[in-house]
Structure formats: structure tokens, C-alpha cells
């Protein structure tokens, strides 16, 4: 290393430290890449009333335009305030245990809802093809999968999510509290998310009040199995 390289590297290291992100700097993207990843809200792939009668329009509107928009804004505010220099969402969640509560909760909320909107659609049918085969192989039948997933979603006390994940090629059902997700290093449930269900009361209370079981039973009618199958890889 010549002196010029040393000086340049020292300046880079100092800059990284002054951003308060020395851990991040070690795996920061190469020069020229975007210095900091931020979250973006995906456009809702359908209108607010499209999932009626299973999910009502007012719930969808409040959920998307207030709850989800707030998670996106809050996590990006925190990324800016703490100068979090992550290169991707994968890297962000792999470091979840080191994040502030604000970054972890809102980052989870941002990502989980982006995922959730995309695995639903109006007048969805039954799973078929490779997703039906994979569910049958892992759980005995599509019906048995739905039963087990429902039990898990019902069993999440308070706010959280139910998930179908692929963990090293094996399909598993589990749940996470609050806005945690299976991509987070501190999550007990690990794996690639294949399907997700929001069981926060804000997802169903206007229409179903305390009847989470009815919400889940109706939600199966809007699962976009084609999108779910894509996530199987």
C-alpha cells in the first residue's frame, strides 16, 4: 500500500466512522453504488375495493395509505437520522439485532406490507401446479396446510404475522411478533418468505372486529397463488 492509497483509505474509513456505521462500512457497496438503501412503497396492485367482500375498501385504504405509508416514512427517516449505510433490504434485515426499535419495527412494517399486497388478488382461485404439489408434499394436502397455517395465525397473541417460508428447501409455517419477519437475524423463524398474513387488528377490525378466525377464513379467497408459486423459486 503506497501513501496515497493509505491516505485515501483512511479518509474513507474516517467518513464511514463519522456516519456512525463502522459495522456497515465493512460490507458497504462498492464505490459508485448508492450509499444508502431506502425503502419504497410498492403501488397497490389493485384498487382499495378490489378485495371486497373479504377485505373491505376502508380497511384497505387506511392500511395502505396510512399504516404502510407511515412505516415507509418512519424507517427512511431513521435510515437518514442514523446514516444507516445498508446496501440492500437483505443486509438491513440481516443486521436487525443491531438496529434501533424504530428502524427494526418500521423497516419490518415497510417490507412485510410490500410483500402482503403482492400475494393477494381479487377473485383468486385454488392453488394448483407446483405450489399445490409443494404444499401437499410438505403438509399432506392443501387443506392440511391451510388448517396448520390458520392455527398458527390464530395462535399469534397480539400483533404479528403468520408465514409460510422456505428454509433450505423445506417449507415451514411459523409466526413473528409485531413487524418482525423471517429475514431478520433475530427471528426465531428463518427462511425465504413464500406467503404472509397480517394478523394485526388494523388488518381486519373494521369488518371483523375481534373475529380473527373469520378474517382468516375469508382471506384464503384472495390469496394470489400464482405470486406465491413464483416465490417458491
Residues that bind Mn ion (CB under 5 A): 198, 200, 203
Q: How far is the CB of 63 from Mn ion (least distance, A)?
A: 6
186: its cell numbers: 433475530
Nearer to Mn ion, 8 or 66 (CB): 66
Looking up cell 390458520, which residue turns up? 150
Of 131 and 164, nearer to Mn ion (C-beta) is 164
Nearer to Mn ion, 92 or 200 (CB): 200
Nearer to Mn ion, 83 or 159 (CB): 159
Cα separation, 77 vs 84, whole angstroms: 10
Find the radius of gyration of the CA atoms of the chain.
20
Task: Name the residue nearer to Mn ion (CB basis): 180 or 198.
Answer: 198
- Least CB distance from residue 26 to Mn ion, whole Å? 34
Measure the CA–CA gap between 190 and 185, rounded to whole angstroms: 8
C-beta of 120: minimal distance to Mn ion in Å?
12
Peptide bond between residue 118 and the one before it cis (omega within 30 degrees of 0): no
Closest CA to 176 of 119, 104, 92, 86: 104
**Shortest Å distance, C-beta 2 to Mn ion:** 54
**What whole-number distance in Å separates Cα of residue 219 and Cα of residue 215?**
6
Question: What is the smallest separation between the CB atom of 71 and Mn ion, expressed in angstroms?
Answer: 8
Amino acid at each position: 500500500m503506497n501513501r496515497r492509497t493509505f491516505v485515501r483509505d483512511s479518509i474513507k474509513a474516517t467518513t464511514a466512522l463519522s456516519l456512525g456505521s463502522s459495522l456497515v462500512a465493512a460490507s458497504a457497496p462498492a464505490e459508485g453504488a448508492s450509499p444508502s438503501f431506502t425503502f419504497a412503497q410498492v403501488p397497490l396492485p389493485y384498487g382499495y375495493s378490489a378485495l371486497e367482500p373479504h377485505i373491505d375498501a376502508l380497511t384497505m385504504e387506511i392500511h395502505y395509505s396510512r399504516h404502510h405509508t407511515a412505516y415507509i416514512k418512519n424507517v427512511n427517516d431513521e435510515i437518514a437520522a442514523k446514516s444507516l449505510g445498508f446496501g440492500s433490504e437483505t443486509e438491513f434485515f440481516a443486521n436487525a439485532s443491531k438496529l434501533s426499535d424504530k428502524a427494526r419495527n418500521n423497516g419490518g412494517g415497510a417490507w412485510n406490507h410490500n410483500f402482503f399486497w403482492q400475494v393477494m388478488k381479487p377473485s383468486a382461485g385454488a392453488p394448483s401446479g407446483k405450489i399445490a404439489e409443494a404444499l401437499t408434499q410438505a403438509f399432506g394436502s392443501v387443506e392440511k396446510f391451510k388448517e396448520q397455517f390458520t392455527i398458527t395465525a390464530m395462535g399469534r397473541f397480539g400483533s404479528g404475522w403468520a408465514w409460510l417460508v422456505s428454509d433450505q428447501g423445506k417449507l415451514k409455517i411459523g409466526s413473528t411478533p409485531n413487524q418482525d419477519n423471517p429475514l431478520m437475524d433475530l427471528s426465531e423463524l428463518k427462511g425465504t418468505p413464500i406467503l404472509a398474513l397480517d394478523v394485526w387488528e388494523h388488518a381486519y377490525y373494521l369488518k371483523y372486529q375481534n373475529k380473527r378466525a373469520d378474517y382468516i377464513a375469508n382471506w384464503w379467497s384472495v390469496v394470489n397463488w400464482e405470486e406465491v408459486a413464483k416465490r417458491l423459486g
